[in-house]
Chain A
């Protein structure tokens, strides 16, 4: 069964139709990159997967669990309680464009927060695990620094470690390198690449074409709230079938290469 199953999802902000029937599935262990111009709905789609945004039509399941609602025996949908939503989200890690680290906690405190507060693990055990994670993202020596004392790249790596601390089945990356100075992008992508190699299922909204091409199993091109085209990165990049895809790739690639 697919790890993520997005079925005919529609999303409105008031009258604005942001997602217009998006369907997508990501197999366990796959890396799916979502490309597209700004305003195409790609970040919104990602935020719908862990119910930071509500959807108005369609369904999203993660590892077989329907997200955001509970279905009763008669097929009717019920809203979830806050703690049920929290439980669903705790199985999905998310990394934000602007890091969103908790500024009043050290790097270590950030990584320990969810295991202690959400999973109720003993502090010592959580600390040990958090140190391992910081080691994994190459920041063990920065464990006691506050976010404001770290570079953007370091902050984003702490954010990845924080998201991994709940041992999620799925990781969502919402433009993880867009807020970074160019020379700091590489260190974050390297961590993400390691993570992909370890078999993590990942959905990545990005403008890093090199990463999309090398690391992803599936690349999806979105524009104006629909998926225009999807396929293996080789297909999408070298032989795009749609004009819109071709135009977008031309613009982006001529800019970066």
Chain B
């Protein structure tokens, strides 16, 4: 250790490695205390679960894998996927309408979102169930003029169709706001550059803006999907009776043992949610939430890998903000 003038350049040390710092780590007494408390609490909870006979664990495990429960899970998944599909397609349409220069389009979209977000989903589902009572026959034609064709409402709006439409149309209102915030997050310069090249609005939306907005849109949409999985339990309001919660409670009332069947349903919701969460975290990593991929700091192999990922290139270009996604929890 020699004293040097400020700003003096060190002679390159050749052989001697630098002396490494060996500091004594901070003690974390608080952590150990917390662990001790949690272990006691967890033991109490487990003890309560195992020894309480009212849970009927002897019934729960065989019921987990019965055909009826399996079919109910299938219906729940169908409702979730179908409703989300309708929701996403409609949401993109609504979001584009809300950003339109056409005031009529904007008003229609705003009204739609106001209406479907402003009424409870449960009430909406009851209405979808009653649509055949409100309108026994539906027909297509000119108002006060000729009718082209008509049908009995309940022939088309079966319980399943009503449930999917009810969930999907409601979801679209929420997703539309997510899509809108995504479209709005893309750097304005992107649209201008496309305009300057002579691209038309439709091309600009689908080729330039939307691909970049996905980074903001996709993670919260994963969140909405998980939420939808459990919202499907409300379709008993239609009434649609084949999904998981309804099937489980029906068994419960038949056998006069509601609790083990609800536990069965709860376990399956947790399993599916866990799988969805796994994919959601993959999606979020892919779309670069909190992204740290700055080009130039990557290894050669990293660079080569990055070149193959279009999304990595979007993330690195910072044309959309990072981590806006986390704010979307309905």
Contact = CB atoms under 8 A, between A and B. Distances in A.
Interface of A: 50, 52, 82-83, 86-94, 96, 98, 100-104, 113-114, 117-118, 144-149, 159, 162-163, 166
A59 to B, nearest CB: 20
A108 to B, nearest CB: 12
Please name the 4 residue pairs, one residue from A and one from B, whose CB atoms are nearest each other, closest first.
Answer: A90-B198, A103-B317, A146-B313, A148-B316
Contact of B316 (A98, A103, A144): A103
B306 interface: yes
A101 B187 CA distance: 11
A102 B193 contact: yes
B193, B194, B313: most-surrounded residue (chain A CB, <10 A): B193
A100 B193 contact: yes
A96 B311 CA distance: 23
B281 interface: no
B211 A89 contact: no
Contacts of B118: none
Given A145-B307, A146-B313, A82 B200 contact: yes
Interface residues of B, number: 29
B313 A50 contact: no
Nearest to A149: B295
B307 A103 contact: no
B192 to A, nearest CB: 6
Contacts, number: 92
B197 A104 contact: no
Given A96-B189, A102-B193, A104-B313, A149 B212 contact: no
A88 B199 CA distance: 10
Nearest to A115: B197
Contacts of A162: 197
B313 A89 contact: no
Interface stretch (B77-85, B201-209, B229-237): B201-209
Given A103-B316, A104-B212, A144 B307 contact: yes
A98 B189 contact: yes
B4 interface: no
Interface string B284-296: 0000000000010
B196 interface: yes
A166 B196 CA distance: 11
Nearest to A162: B197
A60 B303 CA distance: 46
B189 A100 contact: yes
B111 to A, nearest CB: 25
Contact of A96 (B193, B207, B317): B193
A241 B195 CA distance: 39
Nearest to B202: A82
Contact of A166 (B195, B198, B200): B198
Contact of B314 (A82, A86, A103, A145): A103
Contact of B317 (A50, A83, A93, A147): A147
B313 A149 contact: yes
Given A102-B190, A118-B198, A149-B316, 16 more contacts: A82-B200, A89-B195, A90-B197, A96-B189, A96-B193, A100-B189, A104-B211, A113-B199, A118-B203, A144-B307, A146-B316, A147-B313, A147-B317, A148-B313, A149-B306, A163-B197
A96, A104, A147, A166: most-surrounded residue (chain B CB, <10 A): A104
Nearest to B214: A104
B310 interface: yes
A144 B201 CA distance: 27
B71 to A, nearest CB: 42
B190 A149 contact: no
B150 to A, nearest CB: 39
B319 interface: yes
11 contacts: A89-B196, A92-B196, A101-B317, A103-B212, A104-B310, A113-B207, A117-B203, A117-B207, A118-B197, A118-B203, A146-B310
B201 A82 contact: yes
B266 to A, nearest CB: 42
A96 B194 CA distance: 12
Nearest to B319: A103
B108 to A, nearest CB: 20
B196 A52 contact: yes
Contacts of B198: 86-91, 114, 118, 166
A113 B295 contact: no
A91 B192 CA distance: 15
A163 B307 CA distance: 24
Nearest to B294: A148
A91, A96, A149: most-surrounded residue (chain B CB, <10 A): A149
Nearest to B296: A149
B261 to A, nearest CB: 49
Given A89-B195, A118-B199, A163-B197, A100 B313 contact: no
Given A103-B313, A146-B313, A114 B307 contact: no
Contacts of A114: 197-199
Interface string B28-50: 00000000000000000000000
Contacts of B203: 117-118
Contacts of A117: 199, 203, 207
Interface in B278-330: 295, 303, 306-307, 310-311, 313-314, 316-317, 319
Contacts of A100: 187, 189-190, 192-193
B192 A52 contact: yes
